[in-house]
Structure 1
């Protein structure tokens, strides 16, 4: 099977199973949001910031280095495993020490949560190489299906604890059980076991590859966490919880539209000759835009009903955060495949330069906006993403040879269609559907938006749409192939 076929087949499996995993996780989160109080969410969210930053450091780009290699080497893989295990253990010890300091400072609950969550880093480090082997071999079907089961099981445990009044610890146990079960199912799915060997030369190669990559990942993770850190320190845990609930809606959208393709992108792009990476990036971006634009902009239009129905009336203020963040769709669609493309051709230094710019501008925006509240922060970050988009476009031109104009214009068709759709749905919600209940209004808005988008898409970009759909038809089930073929021929 060609790399292109593997990418599309792997992506389709990843999208389907990832959607199931995300939907079940979103359902669990929704139930927990109804059962728990904002302050309880805020404490765990604040502690998780430091855990998630540490998680990007502990593997030091080793999984990506293994995926990029032409051949799987047992000695290199074993070296990678022991390195990841040691670094994750050291990170867990450092996090625990920070938790003890927080307890001694007078915040005993927050400190205990930090220590508990930090222990999960060891489990994550122990499964990193096994997961890299699955991704390298396009084992996304196995990876997605088994991790979905693990996360759903952990969610059931978390909901049960929340229902019985365990509060903060329901969220902590949910995260830890998910990490443990995910590791177990991946270990069972990959019949590889590390040897008691260690190669200094392989470690040096990992360091050369991962040095700039881990710097980029760290900068990227800190950039994402700057708003949450500022909200947690300045506005408090309740405001942080409200921001995270709005963000969770956006993360769900990213996970179902962009993330599955991004996960498979590095594996596929690393198998291509450098000259072909730019065109592959462009095809991925064009295909993703067909879905990401209507989903993001549609979500911005229906956020008030969506948040109240999914999380409860007490989280209504999060709707404005979700709307503001969802408007980042154009930069997000272009940016999410930039790092895999540049990593595949070895230009990780460009990623670092871009991430430094993103970090500095995000920090500036957050410092200006934080006195005005969480909605101002969300809106400021979205505006910042649009203003700094030229940096990403220039980076792609230098790294993979894509002209700025060609990259930017690749999104015009779905962008115009989705924007007009969002305006129409917003108008319908405010002036036509206003007397309906939230659920009926949400369903009616989603149906109306879907119809309007499809009609406008074929009206404004028929060639763009038909060409993109034709690329995916051979990898769909026969029934969907026939339906898709008829639609494309009619156009």
Structure 2
């Protein structure tokens, strides 16, 4: 029988495979949809989704995270969490219904209608009816099964949109239909395999306790929403749905580097919970995750920004080229967002719910002020810049409140060599383009990409071969080395 560490490693392996599978599915189907559907239609759906998420803040008290952090929650607590999640999800739908007359004064009828329908679907999502079965599967570290359900539901949703688009439905309705298919198939999947299910019981005392803990995560959720969604609302409202379509394309591409290490990020909360009493083990776990960000996500972010013009034109078509400047400005966001996602799970695990609240309040203020002002000044490019500024402020809060007091990590050893190698690789690639520029887009893409990758790798080796090999082996054991347990000890 595998130890907790072994199960965590295996879980990361499954989530990594699932992440790669969803990347392939999303990429292939996304290309088809981008070539069939116009940017403004993506903008309509994206704006509707963002409007719904404003109302969804009401239900995001982190009830499932509270249960996940518990050592052994009883049936009463689990059932209370389920009924509270369900009630709050229904409340979101009712609030949006009531707000429709006001929303129609600002937004088109299509946007308001789709937002209402998405709110109805949200009752079945992982903060609603699917929350408890998903949490129970995660508590048992059954990420292999969760990964399979996620991949299959993603495939069903994306193929639904593709089939409709190829059949002639080249509007936002094709995107909504895919979203609905994905949501409902995931709901069915987690309920079919849930190891524990809620019962017809409810405790007011447990509910009050969850609300007391959840009020901190509620504000953290507000900050998360503003950091990740307010820019969509600002662009869609101030600039228009066509610009939002371009912005969403750039934003989605900026998340690709983080999705590469999704297997590692996906098990952080459960793994932190298993080692939270041991400072050395917790420090080693955090070091593993930061290694993944430094060695994989950071170079992927820079490399993508470097080849963005050729990549977007070749893959999605020249009509999507206005997204390139936005993608490059989102580089800061793309580099820092994985750090926040990897460290943020420490807050509820360590009982520091106040950090979540502070994180949410500060990010809310930064995003509201910076995004509104910068979008008014520079349109979607300004929104992209504000996204980066907001996550930087958020990471500073996590560093001061979580990393410094609770873990011992050698940040210089983890981040300095990759950053130096990135600077050198980027500089050499840009200089090489001055010397010789291939005439074809494909040639330019591979030319820049190969030079950047080669110089980056060579520079890392030159800066510390033995340390690099040790870090890569350790990272492999945490991500792809299913069944292997990482060695403990301080970070290099």
| CA distance in structure 2 between the partners assigned to 1:464 and 1:310 by the alignment | 37
User: Is it true that 1:410 corresponds to 2:411 in the alignment?
Assistant: no
Deviation of 1:374 after TM superposition, in Å, equals 1.5
Query: 1:88 matched to which residue of 2?
Result: 89
| CA distance in structure 1 between the partners assigned to 2:467 and 2:201 by the alignment | 52
Query: 1:345 matched to which residue of 2?
Result: 350
User: Is it true that 1:298 corresponds to 2:303 in the alignment?
Assistant: yes
User: Is it true that 1:161 corresponds to 2:164 in the alignment?
Assistant: yes
- Partner SS state of residue 417, structure 1: helix
**Which consecutive unaligned segments of at least 5 residues does structure 1 have?**
482-491
Query: 1:149 matched to which residue of 2?
Result: 152
**Which consecutive unaligned segments of at least 5 residues does structure 2 have?**
485-492
Equivalent in 378, 390, 406 of residue 400 of structure 1: 406
- Partner SS state of residue 184, structure 1: helix
Contact 2:121–2:180 (CA under 8 A) maintained in structure 1: yes
User: Is it true that 1:184 corresponds to 2:188 in the alignment?
Assistant: yes
Query: 2:75 matched to which residue of 1?
Result: 74
- Partner SS state of residue 60, structure 1: coil
| CA distance in structure 2 between the partners assigned to 1:385 and 1:104 by the alignment | 32
User: Is it true that 1:255 corresponds to 2:256 in the alignment?
Assistant: no
- CA 310–399 in structure 1, closer or farther in 2 if over 3 Å, else same: farther
User: Is it true that 1:99 corresponds to 2:105 in the alignment?
Assistant: no
Contact 1:262–1:340 (CA under 8 A) maintained in structure 2: no
Query: 1:13 matched to which residue of 2?
Result: 14
Between 152-161 and 414-423, the greater mean CA deviation after superposition: 414-423
Query: 1:327 matched to which residue of 2?
Result: 332
Between 24-33 and 288-297, the greater mean CA deviation after superposition: 24-33
Query: 2:490 matched to which residue of 1?
Result: none
- Partner SS state of residue 67, structure 1: helix
Contact 1:287–1:468 (CA under 8 A) maintained in structure 2: no
Equivalent in 266, 273, 276 of residue 273 of structure 1: 276
- Partner SS state of residue 208, structure 1: helix
Using the size of structure 2 for normalisation, the TM-score is: 0.89
Deviation of 1:12 after TM superposition, in Å, equals 2.0
Task: Note the alpha carbon deviations across 1:16-37, whole angstroms, 9 max, x for none.
Answer: 1112113212322221111111
Task: Note the alpha carbon deviations across 1:308-346, whole angstroms, 9 max, x for none.
Answer: 223221110101111111233553343222211122111
Higher relative contact order (CA 8 A, sep 6+): 2
Query: 2:313 matched to which residue of 1?
Result: 308
Contact 2:31–2:315 (CA under 8 A) maintained in structure 1: yes
Contact 2:329–2:384 (CA under 8 A) maintained in structure 1: yes
Task: Note the alpha carbon deviations across 1:227-281, whole angstroms, 9 max, x for none.
Answer: 2222112111111111111001012222222x43222101110111345234422
| CA distance in structure 2 between the partners assigned to 1:103 and 1:384 by the alignment | 30
Task: Note the alpha carbon deviations across 1:153-194, whole angstroms, 9 max, x for none.
Answer: 211111121233331100111111110011112222224332
| CA distance in structure 1 between the partners assigned to 2:202 and 2:398 by the alignment | 38
Deviation of 1:385 after TM superposition, in Å, equals 4.4
Q: How does 1:124-143 map to 2 (within 5 A)?
A: 124=125, 125-143=128-146
Query: 1:377 matched to which residue of 2?
Result: 383
- CA 461–217 in structure 1, closer or farther in 2 if over 3 Å, else same: farther
- CA 120–305 in structure 1, closer or farther in 2 if over 3 Å, else same: same
Between 37-46 and 1-10, the greater mean CA deviation after superposition: 1-10
| CA distance in structure 2 between the partners assigned to 1:365 and 1:31 by the alignment | 35
Deviation of 1:472 after TM superposition, in Å, equals 4.3
Deviation of 1:402 after TM superposition, in Å, equals 4.7
Between 6-15 and 327-336, the greater mean CA deviation after superposition: 327-336
Between 24-33 and 122-131, the greater mean CA deviation after superposition: 24-33
RMSD after superposition: 2.6
Query: 1:488 matched to which residue of 2?
Result: none
| CA distance in structure 2 between the partners assigned to 1:332 and 1:108 by the alignment | 34
Task: Note the alpha carbon deviations across 1:86-141, whole angstroms, 9 max, x for none.
Answer: 11111122223333544577832222111211111111111111111111111111
Deviation of 1:47 after TM superposition, in Å, equals 0.8
Contact 2:136–2:195 (CA under 8 A) maintained in structure 1: no
| CA distance in structure 2 between the partners assigned to 1:469 and 1:149 by the alignment | 31
Deviation of 1:350 after TM superposition, in Å, equals 1.7
Deviation of 1:151 after TM superposition, in Å, equals 1.1
| CA distance in structure 2 between the partners assigned to 1:77 and 1:385 by the alignment | 33
Contact 1:103–1:111 (CA under 8 A) maintained in structure 2: yes
User: Is it true that 1:194 corresponds to 2:195 in the alignment?
Assistant: no
Query: 2:225 matched to which residue of 1?
Result: 221
Contact 2:340–2:391 (CA under 8 A) maintained in structure 1: no
| CA distance in structure 1 between the partners assigned to 2:434 and 2:163 by the alignment | 38
Query: 2:489 matched to which residue of 1?
Result: none
Between 327-336 and 286-295, the greater mean CA deviation after superposition: 327-336
- CA 458–160 in structure 1, closer or farther in 2 if over 3 Å, else same: same
| CA distance in structure 2 between the partners assigned to 1:140 and 1:273 by the alignment | 20
